[in-house]
Amino acid sequence: MTYDEASGMPWPDVLNRYQTLTDRDSMARAIATLQARGEWNADRSLKPEDYPPLTAAEHLELIALGEVMARHYRHPSQVHLAVVAGAAWAQIAAATGGDPDQARQAYREWAEGQHRLRADFPGGTIGLDDEQHAAAIKAAGEPPAAAAEAEDTRRLNAIRELLSRFNWESDDRQYALEAIDRIADGGQP
């Protein structure tokens, strides 16, 4: 089974099939472990033949079903619901295992996509309308200072380049300091 096939299943079927496969897999592994240790008692009410190990196809199905479940539960709309309910970005980041800037950026991207979705289907109710979009972007706050960080990195690399070419024995140190100041101020050496 592929992800696409699993994602087309009704949600209760995804949950039930995943549970069925994981239960059988757990039982088959437990029986095999007890048999390998010599601790399996044949007079048990359980029959090993009722719990065959999963086939390769069933393991792939379990992966596909698990991915459907993961995408459902970690869907950005869940973050939106948390934002609307008043969750702080640090709390959302802790819940997602990321950092607040990553959570905000992912939420901004989701909100932009939802706003485009509403624009693509005017008069509909899917996606975010202008007011909802504006509220979502406001809730996300200002974008991370990625551009400023990139500029700082550029300046630092330019200073490193200047210093790597600098000959401390014969070059004018004052000239090097002035060039470093120009780079630090955003200019060129």
For the chain, count helices (H), then strands (E). Answer: 9, 0
CA proximity to 155, closest of 189, 122, 110, 118: 189
Give the pLDDT score at 143: 64
Rounded to two decimals, the pTM is 0.56
- Tell me how far apart the alpha carbons of residues 54 and 63 are, in angstroms, rounded to a whole number: 12
* Residue 54 vs residue 183, higher pLDDT: 54
Relative orientation angle of helices 100-120 and 89-96, to the nearest 10 degrees: 90
Residue-level pLDDT at 124: 82
pLDDT at residue number 144? 56
Residue 113 burial (CB count, 10 A): 12
pLDDT in tens, 136-174: 999 888 665 555 677 788 888 888 888 888 887 888 888
Helix axes 56-73, 11-37, angle to 10 degrees: 130
What pLDDT sits at residue 189?
60
32-91 tens-digit pLDDT: 999 999 988 877 788 889 999 999 999 999 999 999 999 888 888 889 999 999 999 899
Q: What is the pLDDT of residue 188?
A: 65
Is 22's pLDDT higher than 60? yes
pLDDT of residue 62: 95
Query: Scanning the structure block, which residue is given the tokens 């200073």?
Result: 159
pLDDT of residue 164: 86
- Of 126, 106, 103, 107, which is closest to residue 116 (Cα–Cα)? 126
pLDDT in tens, 114-123: 999 999 988 8
What per-residue confidence (pLDDT) applies to 175? Answer: 81
CA 137 to CA 112: how far, in whole Å? 8
Residue 123: what pLDDT?
83
Domain ranges of the chain: 3-73, 76-140, 146-184
Spatial separation of the C-alpha atoms in residues 155 and 9, rounded to whole Å: 53
